[in-house]
Chains A and B, each alone.
Chain A
Amino acid sequence: AQTVTQSQPEMSVQEAETVTLSCTYDTSESDYYLFWYKQPPSRQMILVIRQEAYKQQNATENRFSVNFQKAAKSFSLKISDSQLGDAAMYFCAYQPYNNNDMRFGAGTRLTVKP
């Protein structure tokens, strides 16, 4: 069974600084997708970034980037130049290729200090 582990229940970062959120996953598949979703207090689930396992290049979206280590089954999210609006719960998710059974981690609550 695929599981997703986020070992940091809470993280804190100073505004304008950089923070990295950790995620590891367990799978026997070679093809899959990984995601980071953001859930602000409004409860909306917002896609932050997506990574295809067959791509070696790490995905980036503006201030958000990932460090994808396939052999280590690690998928961390780096947020650069943190902003107050980045404060939210962040969920790491795994989805097998050609299968819509997406599994979420327990989430990391990020606080951004002004």
Chain B
Amino acid sequence: DTAVSQTPKYLVTQMENDKSIKCEQNLGHDTMYWYKQDSKKFLKIMFSYNNKELIINETVPNRFSPKSPDKAHLNLHINSLELGDSAVYFCASSRQGFETQYFGPGTRLLVL
């Protein structure tokens, strides 16, 4: 059983398109996250949701919007994609906000 899953694994799209990445966890965790890993492998947190409430919103452009339909899902919607959005996006979850985070397999986004 996959603990944290993401779809799609790969996403190639044109600039200015709108796309979504889905994340699901079957661990019963309360908190979910989105991270961005750039081409230099630097990993930075974007968002965190606890019981469907946004906790962290780092300095991320408002073209990025997390959506959590329920505790087990946290989707990432990106409007008007730009070249600089190309990266690997990781979803993660933890039982409580300060406990160990478990990561999904990542989604490689390439904006052309």
Residue in chain B with minimal CB distance to A95: B98
A45: chain B residues at CB < 8 Å are: 90, 92, 103, 106
User: Which of under 10, 10 to 19, 20 to 34, or 35 or more describes the interface residues of A?
Assistant: 20 to 34
Contact between chains at A97 and B98 (CB < 8 Å): yes
A97: chain B residues at CB < 8 Å are: 98
A23: chain B residues at CB < 8 Å are: none
Would you call A101 an interface residue if the criterion is a C-beta within 8 Å of the partner chain's C-beta atoms?
yes
Q: Which residues of A contact B (CB under 8 A)?
A: 33, 35, 37, 39, 42-47, 50, 89, 91, 95-104, 106-107
Contact between chains at B31 and A100 (CB < 8 Å): yes
Q: What 3 pairs between A and B have smallest CB-CB spacing?
A: A45-B103, A100-B97, A104-B43
Contact between chains at B98 and A99 (CB < 8 Å): yes
23 contacts between A and B (CB under 8 A): A33-B100, A37-B103, A43-B106, A43-B108, A44-B106, A45-B92, A45-B103, A91-B43, A96-B98, A97-B98, A99-B98, A100-B33, A100-B50, A100-B97, A100-B98, A100-B101, A101-B45, A104-B43, A106-B40, A106-B41, A106-B42, A107-B41, A107-B43
- Please measure, in the bound complex, the distance between the C-alpha atom of A87 and the C-alpha atom of B55, giving whole angstroms: 35
Contact between chains at B106 and A102 (CB < 8 Å): no
B50: chain A residues at CB < 8 Å are: 100
Contact between chains at B97 and A35 (CB < 8 Å): no
Would you call B64 an interface residue if the criterion is a C-beta within 8 Å of the partner chain's C-beta atoms?
no
